[in-house]
Amino acid sequence: MEFSRPRGTRDFLPEETSKRRWVENIIRDTFERYGYKEVQTPTFEHLELITAKSGDEIRAHLYHFKDKSNRDIALRPEFTAPVMRLYVNELQSRPKPLKLYYFGNCFRYERPQSGRFREFWQAGVELIGSGYPEAEAEVIALTVETLKKLGLQEFETHIGHIGVLRKVLKKSGVEENDQNLVLGLIDKGEIEELKNVLDELRLKEKDKQLIFNLLNLVGRNEVILKAETLLRGNIDALKELERLREVLRWLKEFGVSDYHVNFGIARGLDYYTGVVFEIYSKKLKAQKQICGGGSYSLAEVFGGEKVATCGFAFGFDRVVLALEAEGVDLGAKAKKEFLVVMTGESLLPKAIEIASMIRNRFPCHVDLMRRRLGKALAYANSIGIPFVVIVGEEELKEDKVILRDMKTGSQKEVSIKNIEKDILKVIE
């Protein structure tokens, strides 16, 4: 019987895994350069944690089940709730701000399509404890710098403020639960359904028009002035707008000026409270969003004290797709890998010894198939190994081996005693 993998999951072959690891390592390195420390959380959590703020309607999109003690368990659909649960359990008393990052797989029961899978990976950060605008600006700057470090060029950063929308809805008489419904429809782009809901909520025509005018405000900093005009008379909304202005001022200090102000960003989760942002790849189609985040309030939902928090998550799989779509060389240029072969089976012990020396600095294979030299070289070519070390009887008498560049075909004798240094001289 032949088994296939579950729908919505993937196998990654060595070549693809190598590319993904290269992307992952650059993301990790950039996060750590900003002072973030990695945390890890369980792959599954209590179902109540996931539904505490998002509501029971999220169950349809979860992998959840009863364990052997009849407890309701869910595979994590994202990392923010688990990380904030970790913070409340273990880290509340630590000095602020706390700068945490994560990388791992998540699970959602959704219809698989290009760029959307049932098992997927996220990489993200949570900045906990600073309510200042420069903290939010730094988080946004980190997303942009990470993508630039990866070599991505064709992307757009869109920044909004969900607090502005909430204050407009509140003044229009919309209660918090209904606000979440409205914001969810805005996030999904379901404009016709949004119109129906606003009609059902019996909003005045001028209030509905204000909402749609705001949603259509997308552009550079000049749209802030347009929003200010639209919001005249709504003191609370204007305060939120001023907060967005402050974040954008600080963002300039971090060297980020290429962004769009977009009041139509709502984000799909109920816990967002202030600045929100999304990043879109110009090369991807329907599933073009590769990053999303913002400021939120969640610790108190899990039994902790209320604390200012801002974070984001990269859709790691989509970042990889975007890089490939732009033709970014995912780590291939850095590859320095070796195969040690021998001209006779009796030289295998020496070949193993030499391979062990090379492994102090580089990835290195030993030919384990006892091939003849010609076939061993053909094998190296077929799997893309750029350098071959040939162990031969005559060279060993002088304590040397032959280093062959498979791309150029050139060969050079190198000393076994100083093999690491001699190899470096030849290949660099």
- Verify that 239 and 372 share a domain, yes or no: no
Q: What is the pLDDT of residue 403?
A: 95
Q: Domain of 82?
A: 14-325
pLDDT surpasses 90 at 176: no
pLDDT surpasses 60 at 334: no
pLDDT surpasses 80 at 242: yes
The predicted-structure confidence for 387-400, as pLDDT tens digits, reads as follows: 999 999 999 999 99
pLDDT surpasses 60 at 58: yes
> Domains in the chain: how many in total?
2
Residue 156 lies in a domain: yes
pLDDT surpasses 80 at 57: no
Residue 132 lies in a domain: yes
For range 398-413, the mean pLDDT: 94
Last residue of a domain, one of 325, 353, 374: 325
Could you give the 3-state DSSP secondary structure of residue 375? Answer: helix
- Verify that 349 and 374 share a domain, yes or no: yes
- Verify that 21 and 94 share a domain, yes or no: yes
- Verify that 236 and 155 share a domain, yes or no: yes
Last residue of a domain, one of 325, 344, 372: 325
What's the CATH number where 287 sits? 3.30.930.10
What b/e sequence results for 274-296 when a residue is b if at least 16 CB atoms lie within 10 Å of its CB, and e otherwise? bbbbbbbbebbeeebebbbbbbb
Show Cβ contacts of residue 416 under 8 Å, excluding neighbours closer than 6 positions: 354, 357, 396, 399, 400, 401
Residue 428 lies in a domain: no
Residue 4 lies in a domain: no
Residue 24 lies in a domain: yes
- Verify that 42 and 75 share a domain, yes or no: yes
pTM, to two decimals: 0.90
Q: What is the pLDDT of residue 117?
A: 93
Residue 9 lies in a domain: no
- Verify that 262 and 134 share a domain, yes or no: yes
Residue 2 lies in a domain: no
- Verify that 158 and 210 share a domain, yes or no: yes
What b/e sequence results for 188-201 when a residue is b if at least 16 CB atoms lie within 10 Å of its CB, and e otherwise? eeeeeebeebbeeb
Q: What is the pLDDT of residue 137?
A: 98
- Verify that 309 and 363 share a domain, yes or no: no
pLDDT surpasses 70 at 28: yes
Look at 10 and 207; give whichever has higher pLDDT. 10
Instruction: For tokens 């094998």, name the residue.
Output: 379
Last residue of a domain, one of 301, 325, 349: 325
- Verify that 319 and 353 share a domain, yes or no: no
For range 300-325, the mean pLDDT: 96
* % of residues, the chain, pLDDT over 90: 74
Q: What is the pLDDT of residue 18?
A: 92
pLDDT surpasses 70 at 332: no
pLDDT surpasses 70 at 55: no
Q: What is the pLDDT of residue 201?
A: 86
Q: What is the pLDDT of residue 199?
A: 83
What average pLDDT does the chain have?
92
**Residue 37 contacts residue 101 (beta carbons within 8 Å):** yes
Q: What is the pLDDT of residue 79?
A: 97
- Verify that 286 and 417 share a domain, yes or no: no
- Verify that 351 and 205 share a domain, yes or no: no
For range 331-335, the mean pLDDT: 66
pLDDT tier, 333 (very low <50, low <70, confident <90, very high otherwise): low
- Verify that 124 and 232 share a domain, yes or no: yes
Residue 330 lies in a domain: no
